[in-house]
Amino acid sequence: MSGAAGCQGGGGGGERGHRWRRPWKLLALGLLSASSVLAAAPGAGAMSKEEKRRLGNQVLEMFDHAYSNYMEHAYPADELMPLTCRGRVRGQEPSRGDVDDALGKFSLTLIDTLDTLVVLNKTKEFEEAVKKVIKDVNLDNDIVVSVFETNIRVLGGLLGGHSVAIMLKEKGEYMQWYNGELLHMAKELGYKLLPAFNTTSGLPYPRVNLKFGVRHPEARTGTETDTCTACAGTLILEFAALSRFTGTSIFEEYARKALDFIWEKRQRSSNLVGVTINIHTGDWVRKDSGVGAGIDSYYEYLLKAYVLLGDDSFLERFNTHYDAIMRYISQPPLLLDVHIHKPMLNARTWMDSLLAFFPGLQVLKGDIRPAIETHEMLYQVIKKHNFLPEAFTTDFRVHWAQHPLRPEFAESTYFLYKATGDPYYLEVGKTLIENLNKYARVPCGFAAMKDVRTGSHEDRMDSFFLAEMFKYLYLLFADKEDMIFDIEDYIFTTEAHLLPLWLSTTNQTISKKNTTTEYTELDDSNFDWTCPNTQILFPNDPMFAQSIREPLKNVVDKSCPRGISRAEESLGSGPKPPLRARDFMASNPEHLEILKKMGVSLIHLKDGRVQLVQHAVQAASSLDAEDGLRFMQEMIELSSQQQKEQQLPPRAVQIVSHPFFGRVVLTAGPAQFGMDLSKHKAGTRGFVATIKPYNGCSEITNPEAVKEKIALMQRGQCMFAEKARNIQKAGAIGGIVIDDNEGSSSDTAPLFQMAGDGKNTDDITIPMLFLFNKEGNIILDAIREYEAVEVLLSDKAKDRATIFKGKMIPNYIIDSNLEVENMDQKLSENDSHKQNAEEATSASQDVGAVSEEPEEGESSDVTDPDSLSPANADSDSVSISNQDSYVPGTDEAGAPEPACTRGDNQPQEQKTEAESNSKVNWDNKVQPMESILADWNEDIEAFEMMEKDEL
């Protein structure tokens, strides 16, 4: 997700440069000149020009590291695999599902990076890259791709490259040979995407075959019925730019038709849109609504379409949606999904990382206070986990632990700094740089985080990392004189590609008829926070931004913020807020009375547990019934979370010897026996050795090679515990079992844990970890190349400074001082492997759920040999009938403790044995009981869809 640059300066010259200077109705882009209004906040300390320049140069070095490794090891493949130092070619690697739909065998990363090269002043490299794209890239491949991803990354990349190419050509030094070749390729690609729009609604199919479209049997597409709102609503900038660059109006017409259809299908009473829509009927398939995954860039493109195209209808639609977002979804500092037909009630208790773009969009809108609040909350989450987890709960626990190096938070940081001039945001950017270098940098690039809790890596470096992350970080620290062109002459697409603002007056073939007001009467208050009201935003108070952030400084670690309840919001100090599941105690008579009012009954079981059953018709009122539905849904989610927390988390294998120096961290499965690495914070460190026999199922024949080493062995032919006993007897200090299933990878398979043999395993005292085949081969390849390879087995990756305390290593590994030199001489490979590493950070409470699943084809008295338990298995269910909701098995003695209690601001681990993952929904609006019951089946369906939600 990306924002627009400023639009204060002139356009591309001539009459093109004046039309877009429209009256300041909303153009919050003018905020980018507001930095002069706000002085440095006291205590924050203005960053010196030398420090800013040093950080800018550091960003350049990081970009060079990532880009050069892509070009050396991956090009012409779509993406770099930074752990195995090779290109990701679709069809040659295990499928990652929808993630691979971005790959079309068209050198994705290079195209996505074109205009970034110019922003970073790498004009020679840009010229070479454009020549490679023109010469090598084929857009006519028989391959099915995502329309959305191909549009924002490839079409946007070609158009962004063309935009800066003609700018450089006009300047007269570079690209003098350029004759619109990138634009010709963009037009070719645009025509290849058009068959996806062959639907009665005008909404595109989510996928298209680049060679055959959607209608031929060879296309293997055209059967889909659903698409996400963002997928259909994030086309207008690229398609309109293509139309206006080429004079071919059809692209803009198709994109406008899709946007018009979504607008017409919005929920009329709430003015919200759902996540998923049927492309044929227009029915909402998923009725939850937020600003994150599935919807995000739809809102972004409405505002930016107004800026780029000058059509007031887009502005009015955006303001209508924005009013609904701030009314229902925004619960500062949180942004929580709601149901479009019952917007007063939350649809889930977690947030996804894609919403991190929203503070930047709010800056463009001009609504600075909530932007500061949400950004600060996100920053506190980052400070806790080093990166923003893919999803996290409202009490800031990890929900999905991955982090694919997303740039949205850096984007919002850039826009907030441009809006406020507050040096605090420069320090935030510095933190992002340091974390990327300390935790994501590997010898062949930067690796996505497999799990932010352990610090383990995934063999993945998405194209958006180069396209967006370095662009925003460089612009954050760059002064105007550092740029070779005026960035404010361009708008950023959602992939941060540059489109010139003078396009607003070029080839205007589309009618500007305003159809918005046919549907809604706009509230003038929507326009209160608009530019250039910098005096309102910053009322001569240099402490403005700091005063907004200050109450949120400890929001993650020391408090459990709760949004104002709807009742409190409407009644002031009114009635007490409803009972929340996290606060419920089965032994509290007051709580039982509240449950009775809500229509919730407790059934005591013989084993000491209680079942919760809700009968909406037995509630004291419709509001109480809705509170009961909320309580049941919260109890279900607490149950799911607690089930995960009872199980073993993933572990980390960190390669600490030359040339890795702790920068490569592999996701490892834990064992149900042996040393518990979470209780031995220093972990186990040692050189690795391959055992004989390799399966470890009999006495080790090379004990001299294994003694005081970490033994490597292959999975299969006997129990894990038997392998552990054999290597322990040979003197090994730890063991790593490598999967024998060729091509298996933690990228595509759920985490597994090694089960015991059904006997007492207290005699096993060494740690044992499991690596999938791909991760194991990374270690085996390192042995072949470097012979002596040292690793650290731990519960989570350790800080480099801790690992190498007292040893000579390259400075940038510890303090991000990126002067890479003489790495070979900095660390002796013969240093003692017994040196203890101190714990860098405490482990998160969130872990993956584990359930045992024996391996097929192997047997034992108790469990199968090498049996593995999928860490994310989830077989819970809930039975619902006759408008009743039911939660089985809450332990009365161990009822869920509050996550935060009065007098104690430290979050407590939530405890419950209620079992279910199906979800039900509710509404706080006062409405007749019949209405509540009529919505019941719709609620159940919506929650079942949410269970399948993936980013």
650-670 pLDDT, tens digit per residue, is 899 999 998 888 899 999 999
Handedness of CA 690, 692, 695, 698 (dihedral sign): negative
Is 816 a domain residue?
A: no
User: pLDDT tens digits for 428-464?
Assistant: 999 999 999 999 999 999 999 999 999 999 999 999 9
- The whole-number pLDDT of residue 810 equals 52
- Extended strands (E) in 616-682: 651-655, 664-668
Phi-psi region of 872 (alpha: psi -120 to 50; beta: other; left: phi over 0): alpha
Is 945 a domain residue?
A: no
- The whole-number pLDDT of residue 777 equals 94
What is the chain's mean pLDDT, rounded? 79
For residue 481, CA distances in Å to 35, 39, 121, 477 come to 16, 21, 11, 12
Angle among Cα 267, 273, 278 to the nearest 5 degrees reads 95
- Picking from 188, 189, 207, the residue whose alpha carbon sits closest to that of residue 197 is 207
- The whole-number pLDDT of residue 624 equals 81
Is 346 a domain residue?
A: yes
Same domain, 637 and 671: no
Q: How confident is the model at residue 301 (pLDDT cuts 50, 70, 90)?
A: very high
User: pLDDT tens digits for 833-880?
Assistant: 434 333 333 333 333 333 333 333 333 333 333 434 333 333 333 332
Query: Which of the residues 408, 489, 583, 757 is marked catalytic?
Result: 408
Q: How confident is the model at residue 822 (pLDDT cuts 50, 70, 90)?
A: very low
Does 292 have pLDDT greater than 70? yes
List alpha helices for 699-855, DSSP H. Answer: 703-706, 720-729, 773-786, 800-803, 811-815
Lowest mean pLDDT among 38-47, 175-184, 218-227, 292-301: 38-47
Same domain, 642 and 658: no
Sequence-ordered list of residues with C-beta below 8 angstroms from that of 223, at least 6 positions apart, any chain? none
Lowest mean pLDDT among 106-110, 343-347, 384-388: 343-347
Lowest mean pLDDT among 166-175, 312-321, 561-570: 561-570
Does 506 have pLDDT greater than 80? no
DSSP sequence for 860-903: -SSS-TT-EEETT--------BTTEEEEEEEESTTPPPPSSBTT
Answer with the one of 481, 503, 525 that is the final residue of a domain. Answer: 503
Does 805 have pLDDT greater than 50? yes
Same domain, 640 and 656: no
Answer with the one of 472, 503, 534 that is the final residue of a domain. Answer: 503
Same domain, 664 and 618: no
Share of the chain above pLDDT 70, in %: 72
- Picking from 2, 1, 8, the residue whose alpha carbon sits closest to that of residue 27 is 8
Same domain, 239 and 317: yes
CATH number of the domain where residue 252 is located: 1.50.10.10
Mean pLDDT to the nearest integer, 302-327: 96
- Picking from 539, 545, 543, 559, the residue whose alpha carbon sits closest to that of residue 376 is 545
* Secondary structure, 3-state, 379-403: HHHHHHHCCCCCEEECCCCEEECCE
Does 410 have pLDDT greater than 50? yes
Q: Who wins on pLDDT, 902 or 676?
A: 676
Residue type, 26: L
Query: Which of the residues 100, 101, 149, 645 is marked catalytic?
Result: 149
- Picking from 591, 583, 573, the residue whose alpha carbon sits closest to that of residue 635 is 583
Mean pLDDT to the nearest integer, 375-399: 94
Distance, in Å, from the CA atom of 424 to the CA atom of 441, rounded to the nearest integer, reads 25
- The whole-number pLDDT of residue 625 equals 82
Most confident of 224-233, 518-527, 812-821: 224-233
Same domain, 749 and 608: no
HSE on the CB side for 903, CA within 13 Å? 0
Same domain, 186 and 288: yes
In the chain, helix, strand, coil percent, each to 5?
A: 40, 15, 45
Three-state secondary-structure class, residue 662: coil
Distance, in Å, from the CA atom of 410 to the CA atom of 581, rounded to the nearest integer, reads 35
Secondary structure letter of residue 1 according to DSSP: -
Is 285 a domain residue?
A: yes
Element (H, E) at 441: strand 441-442
Is 592 a domain residue?
A: yes
- Picking from 243, 256, 318, the residue whose alpha carbon sits closest to that of residue 512 is 256
Task: State both tokens at 514.
Answer: 């305003």
Is 590 assigned a catalytic role?
no
- The whole-number pLDDT of residue 622 equals 79
- Picking from 377, 468, 376, 363, the residue whose alpha carbon sits closest to that of residue 421 is 363
Is 390 assigned a catalytic role?
yes
Q: How confident is the model at residue 898 (pLDDT cuts 50, 70, 90)?
A: very low
Does 936 have pLDDT greater than 90? no
Q: How confident is the model at residue 488 (pLDDT cuts 50, 70, 90)?
A: very high
- The whole-number pLDDT of residue 885 equals 42
Is 329 a domain residue?
A: yes
Same domain, 213 and 343: yes
Is 157 a domain residue?
A: yes
Is 61 a domain residue?
A: yes
Q: Who wins on pLDDT, 556 or 383?
A: 383
Number of other CB atoms surrounding residue 814 within 10 Å = 19
Is 846 assigned a catalytic role?
no
Q: How confident is the model at residue 627 (pLDDT cuts 50, 70, 90)?
A: confident
- The whole-number pLDDT of residue 558 equals 55
Query: Which of the residues 93, 252, 296, 939 is marked catalytic?
Result: 296
Same domain, 604 and 739: no
Same domain, 607 and 460: no
Tell me whether residue 494 is annotated as binding: yes
Angle among Cα 39, 42, 43 to the nearest 5 degrees reads 135
Q: How confident is the model at residue 216 (pLDDT cuts 50, 70, 90)?
A: confident
Share of the chain above pLDDT 90, in %: 56
Query: Which of the residues 390, 739, 799, 864 is marked catalytic?
Result: 390
CATH number of the domain where residue 727 is located: 3.50.30.30
Answer with the one of 610, 631, 646 that is the final residue of a domain. Answer: 646
Mean pLDDT to the nearest integer, 211-232: 90
Give the structural domain span for 277: 50-503
- The whole-number pLDDT of residue 945 equals 53
Same domain, 605 and 659: no
The model's pTM is 0.72
Does 893 have pLDDT greater than 50? no
Task: State both tokens at 488.
Answer: 């404010």
Q: Who wins on pLDDT, 537 or 583?
A: 583
Q: Who wins on pLDDT, 714 or 747?
A: 714
Does 28 have pLDDT greater than 70? no
Strand 391-393 versus strand 398-400 pairing type: antiparallel
- Extended strands (E) in 462-593: 490-492, 498-500
Sequence-ordered list of residues with C-beta below 8 angstroms from that of 264, at least 6 positions apart, any chain? 282, 519
- The whole-number pLDDT of residue 886 equals 43
* Count of domains observed in the chain: 3
Sequence-ordered list of residues with C-beta below 8 angstroms from that of 551, at least 6 positions apart, any chain? none
Same domain, 593 and 731: no
Does 493 have pLDDT greater than 80? yes
- The whole-number pLDDT of residue 219 equals 84
Does 681 have pLDDT greater than 70? yes
- The whole-number pLDDT of residue 632 equals 83
- Cβ burial of 488 (10 Å; 0-12, 13-18, 19+) is buried
* Secondary structure, 3-state, 760-788: CCCCCCCCEEEECHHHHHHHHHHHHHHCC
Mean pLDDT to the nearest integer, 197-204: 96
Is 408 assigned a catalytic role?
yes
Distance, in Å, from the CA atom of 59 to the CA atom of 478, rounded to the nearest integer, reads 10
